[in-house]
Amino acid sequence: MNVRENLEVIQSQIADACKKAGRNPEEVKIIAVTKYVSPERAKEAINAGVTHLGENRDEGLLHKIRHLEDKPVWHFIGTLQTRKVKNIIEHVTYIHSLDRLSLAKEINKRSDSKVSCLIQVNASGEESKHGLRPAEVIGFVQDLKQFNNIQISGLMTMAPFTEDQQVIRDCFRTLKSLQAELQSLQLENAPCDELSMGMSNDFQIAVEEGSTMVRIGTALVGNESEVQ
């Protein structure tokens, strides 16, 4: 199927998941993860109606920007090295991988206005995963008050790659619970309205558990060799 057909299937699956959870599908943003595809394929996604695109490397992001006339909402979804903040800061609306004070300091320094950041949380506890432990998040957000250009718009996590749906669901529920805890504090720098969780293999479960941003690559745009 082409990207437009893939999008229609995904939208239908999101609608079904929202119906099960008593949610409005309009609450869920579809982020087309374009890291493994060419600018042409990314353009197909935009032409199909996708307005949010995600990249995990600064080189890939800048390559797409140079080749796309359209201006989608860009999300940086990968691990961000402090030294590369200057390369992407003018181009992205959301950064999904804030996980340390040194990175926050650099984002704050390089930006002229508030940047919407999501804290990356290792909700599964896997050693291979990046992110803060859930118990560290509240204190981290409190420490971020010193940075005027950082707004904590939400939380991000990745579930284990497993066939066990209960393990996946528990991971997402951990993040949802953490969001509720943060919102109860009513911190000015952390409205925390967004939950970035769910990818091609588990986005329906994520939507059922409260995700507002699903990061979908293979199921939407496929996986082709990117032309650099």
CA nearest 212: which of 162, 157, 165, 160?
157
Chain centroid offset of residue 152 CA:
13
The 3-class SS string of the chain reads CCHHHHHHHHHHHHHHHHHHHCCCHHHCEEEEECCCCCHHHHHHHHHHCCCEEEECCHHHHHHHHHHCCCCCEEEECCCCCHHHHHHHCCCCCEEEEECCHHHHHHHHHHCCCCEEEEEEECCCCCCCCCCECHHHHHHHHHHHHHCCCEEEEEEECCCCCCCCHHHHHHHHHHHHHHHHHHHHHCCCCCCCCEEECCCCCCHHHHHHCCCCEEEECHHHHCCCCCCC
pLDDT in tens, 114-128: 999 999 999 998 888
Mean pLDDT, rounded, for 11-31: 98
Mean pLDDT, rounded, for 161-167: 94
pLDDT in tens, 139-148: 999 999 999 9
pLDDT above 60: residue 137: yes
Mean pLDDT of the chain: 95
For residue 167, the domain's CATH number is 3.20.20.10
Residue 228 lies in a domain: no
Query: In the block, which residue shows the tokens 């992407």?
Result: 88
The DSSP bridge partners found for residue 30 are: 214
CA nearest 77: which of 194, 219, 166?
194
Mean pLDDT, rounded, for 76-85: 96
The better pLDDT of the pair 78, 1 is held by 78
**pLDDT for res 179:** 98
Measured CA to CA, the distance from residue 100 to residue 109 in angstroms comes to: 15
Mean pLDDT, rounded, for 177-181: 98
pLDDT above 60: residue 226: no
**pLDDT for res 225:** 47
Residue 139 lies in a domain: yes
Confidence of residue 224 (pLDDT cuts 50, 70, 90): low
Residue 200 lies in a domain: yes
Is pTM, for the whole model, over 0.75?
yes
**pLDDT for res 127:** 84
pLDDT above 90: residue 221: yes
Residue 128 lies in a domain: yes
Domain limits for position 201: 3-221
Domain total of the chain = 1
Residue 13 lies in a domain: yes
Measured CA to CA, the distance from residue 145 to residue 142 in angstroms comes to: 6
- Kindly give the pairing relationship between strand 194-196 and strand 150-156: parallel
Residue 227 lies in a domain: no
Residue 226 lies in a domain: no
**pLDDT for res 111:** 96
Q: Which of 1-15, 62-76, 189-203, 211-225 has the lowest mean pLDDT?
A: 211-225
